[in-house]
Structure 1
Amino acid sequence: MTQTKTFRYKSSLASKMAVPGGKSVGDALRAAEGALETHRDAAMQSLNATLTDLDAVCARRARSEVYERASALLDMAGFFDTGPLHPAVFGLCEVSVGMEEGAGDWPTVEVHLRAIRMILAGDCRASENTRLLLEGLTAVRQRLAGAPGGHGSTAQ
């Protein structure tokens, strides 16, 4: 019968981690969030540029392009603490999916765009006004979902 030998290799990473000192997980997360925050202004400018693109899409009535731009907004909104911006943009994505399915209308898209601009102008801070805006957007989507040919989803 053969005997089995187990070898334990100690990697250089394990050795480095065993050395006292360094950053705690909390410190590392705070440092990463701080580094990300340095890009916030550029991200907000990018959000505004994408909104301007969406305005042009609306002017051309290019239904097939709405979701692409809306999902880009959603991706950017997810990187930072954007409070009420994320649910407003998520709602725009829902509306754009409905438009691709033949439901939905341009005024609903335009209302979402105006609300998103207002939230951005308020530096994405939650307030009573943004709460009311989000409630209004939800009501608009529910009305659209209940309309003949509506797309039904109203998650926020």
Structure 2
Amino acid sequence: MTEAKTFRYKTNLARKMSAPGGRSADEALAAADRALSSHRDAAMQALAVILTRLEAACAAQRRPDIYEQAAALLDLSGFFETGPLHPAIFSLCEISDPGAGVWDWPSIEVHVRAIRRILNSECRDTDESRLLLDGLVAVRQRLQNRTRPG
């Protein structure tokens, strides 16, 4: 009987990964952060444009557009350090989600105004922004408690 022979083929990728040199994971992450931060100003301008659309949808009470614009804000703000902006937008998404069943126009408007104030303050973590976030949490909890049976 003939004995089977097994051949181990080393792929090009395996050879490159085992070769000395290259970047460490920390170096690669730092380079990626630097590259991403070079787009921060453009992203902040894009956030302002989306927020203007959100404000217009809110003024016209175009309910379907609210969640869509809020989700777009959330997606973009998540790429950058935006301090209190991201949790404020997340809160808006929570109360404007069509499936959440907690819709309330005054609460939506309060969230949109708070988001504008936070964005205008360059997303800094300040006493005012913390107070705004605390208020948004209270508004969201009130809405969610109102819809729960009990």
Relative to the length of structure 1, the TM-score reads 0.85
Q: Deviations over 1:39-58 (max 9, x none)?
A: 11111111111110011111
Q: Deviations over 1:102-156 (max 9, x none)?
A: 6422221111111111211222222332221111001111222233xx3x5xxxx
User: CA distance change for structure 1 residues 89 and 2 in 2, over 3 Å: closer, same or farther?
Assistant: farther
Task: Provide the C-alpha distance between the structure 2 equivalents of 1:117 and 1:43, rounded to a whole number of angstroms.
Answer: 15
Corresponding residue of 1:78: 78
Corresponding residue of 1:121: 120
Q: Percent identity?
A: 58
Corresponding residue of 1:26: 26
Q: Which amino acid aligns with 1:46?
A: A
Aligned positions, number: 148
Q: How big is the shift at 1:2?
A: 5.3
Q: Secondary structure at the match of 2:27?
A: helix
Aligned Cα RMSD in Å?
1.8
Alignment of 1:60-139 (within 5 A): 60-97=60-97, 103-139=102-138
Task: Provide the C-alpha distance between the structure 1 equivalents of 2:2 and 2:120, rounded to a whole number of angstroms.
Answer: 74
Relative to the length of structure 2, the TM-score reads 0.88
Corresponding residue of 1:42: 42
User: CA distance change for structure 1 residues 2 and 70 in 2, over 3 Å: closer, same or farther?
Assistant: farther
Task: Provide the C-alpha distance between the structure 2 equivalents of 1:128 and 1:75, rounded to a whole number of angstroms.
Answer: 25
Q: Secondary structure at the match of 1:53?
A: helix
Task: Provide the C-alpha distance between the structure 1 equivalents of 2:121 and 2:89, rounded to a whole number of angstroms.
Answer: 15
Q: Secondary structure at the match of 1:9?
A: coil
Q: Which amino acid aligns with 1:128?
A: D
Task: Provide the C-alpha distance between the structure 2 equivalents of 1:4 and 1:127, rounded to a whole number of angstroms.
Answer: 71
CA contact (8 A) 2:94 2:100 kept: no
Consecutive unaligned residues of structure 2, counting only runs of 5 or more, are none
